Every structure is written in structure tokens, then in C-alpha cells.
Amino acid sequence: MRQNIETRAEASIRELDAAEAEARLAELADILVDAVAHGASVNFLAGFDREDGRAFWRKQVADIADGGKRLFVGERGGRLVGTVLLIYAPQPNAPHRAEIGKMLVLSSERRQGLGRRLLAVTEQAASRAGRTLLLLDTESGSSGDRLYRSCGWREYGRVPDHAYRVDGRLAETTMFYKILPGRPAAPGSVPPLGAARP
């Protein structure tokens, strides 16, 4: 008996500019709504809907346009299935620092390595930009917590009752950092936000 084996192509990862992010707000919103619906602690509570998701991402577009944030996405079959934001520290004394935000993968795409790949691409982009100290936080004990630890991120603190879960219960948050290889950007070496990136 012949067995049919379906192989799925690996999702591609790329950066979206502000114009494409604006054009794909609905897909970006769907990823965020899916994350909240599945209990992810990403700043929002139960009842978060697609319009809320579009409003959130619309606010990010302006920061992407002025260079303060960069958006990397996973895409499969022409559909966005994952996101991560690289958020540059705007302070003059922190040109070497950035944060990771909205690291999200559709529930149907999880446990296939996409989150790990999105994180690696974002870390590489940060390092190339001279951002050699990265920070993030996530709910203690979550799948994100486990992912970051397995990717070499180091815990530097925990805050009890830091944020409400989707279900309305308070949860602890763990803070992480990662030092990247490369030469950190020096004060004055990074163009101000809004300047075109090379």
C-alpha cells in the first residue's frame, strides 16, 4: 500500500517596511488576536478583537516608518504566520541597546521552529545595527520563557504580580537580556530616528 506523505515548505522570514505593514494590517491583527485567544501574555485581555489588533499594529507602522522599530515576519504560502519587533532604544546614551517585542507565532504554526528562527534573524539584524544588548520580558514559566532560555537569553530578575493574564489573574514576569557579538554602536554613531537606514 502506497503512503502519501505531505511535506510543508518551511516558512520564509523577512522584514516588512511600513507600507507593506500598513497593507497587511488584517493579517498582523489575526496573529495578535490568535495569541491573545490562546492565553499569551502580550499586554491584552480577553475580548481583544481584530479591530483592536489593527489599531495596535497601525500605531507600530509610524515607528517602523521613522526607523524606531523594525518588523520581521514569518510567511507561508503568501500568508503571515509570525511576527517579531526589534525596538531600538531611543535614548542618546543607549545606541547599543534594543528590545524584542510581539514575538508571536500562529497557534497552528507552533512547535515547528519558527519562533526560534524569527528570534535568530532579529538578533542578527540587531547585531548588524550595532545593537549588542537586547532586552525582553515574558510571563514566567510560559512557552516564551522556555524558548528564550533555550536560545541563550539570561534571566536578570522577576517581578511578582507584574501583569494580568488574559483570564484576569495576576502573573509573574521574568526579565531577560542577551549580549550579542559585534561592536556596540557608540554615542553619536547612530542616525536619529526618522533618518533613512543605509
Which has the higher per-residue pLDDT, 44 or 59? 59
Confidence at 46, pLDDT banded by 50, 70, 90 = confident
- Residue-level pLDDT at 195: 52
What are the extents of the domains in the chain?
Answer: 12-179
Across residues 74-100, what is the average pLDDT? 96
- What is the percent of the chain where pLDDT is above 70? 91
Judge whether 152 and 98 are in contact, CB under 8 Å: no
Kindly report, residue by residue over 128-186, the tens digit of the pLDDT: 999 999 999 999 999 999 999 999 999 999 999 999 998 889 999 999 999 999 888 88
- Check pLDDT > 50 for residue 92: yes
Strands (E), 52-107: 69-76, 79-88, 97-105
Judge whether 37 and 165 are in contact, CB under 8 Å: no
- Check pLDDT > 80 for residue 189: no
Q: What is the CATH number of domain 12-179?
A: 3.40.630.30
- Residue-level pLDDT at 6: 43
Q: What is the mean pLDDT of the chain?
A: 90
Kindly report, residue by residue over 105-117, the tens digit of the pLDDT: 999 888 889 999 9
- Check pLDDT > 90 for residue 47: no
- Check pLDDT > 50 for residue 3: no
- Residue-level pLDDT at 192: 56
- Long-range CB contact pairs, 84-87, < 8 A, 24+: 84/118, 84/119, 84/122, 85/60, 86/122, 86/125, 86/126, 86/131, 87/63
**Residue 107, SS3?**
helix
Exposed/middle/buried for residue 82 (C-beta within 10 Å: 0-12, 13-18, 19+): buried
User: What φ, ψ does residue 19 adopt, rounded to 5°?
Assistant: -65, -45
User: What φ, ψ does residue 66 adopt, rounded to 5°?
Assistant: -90, 5
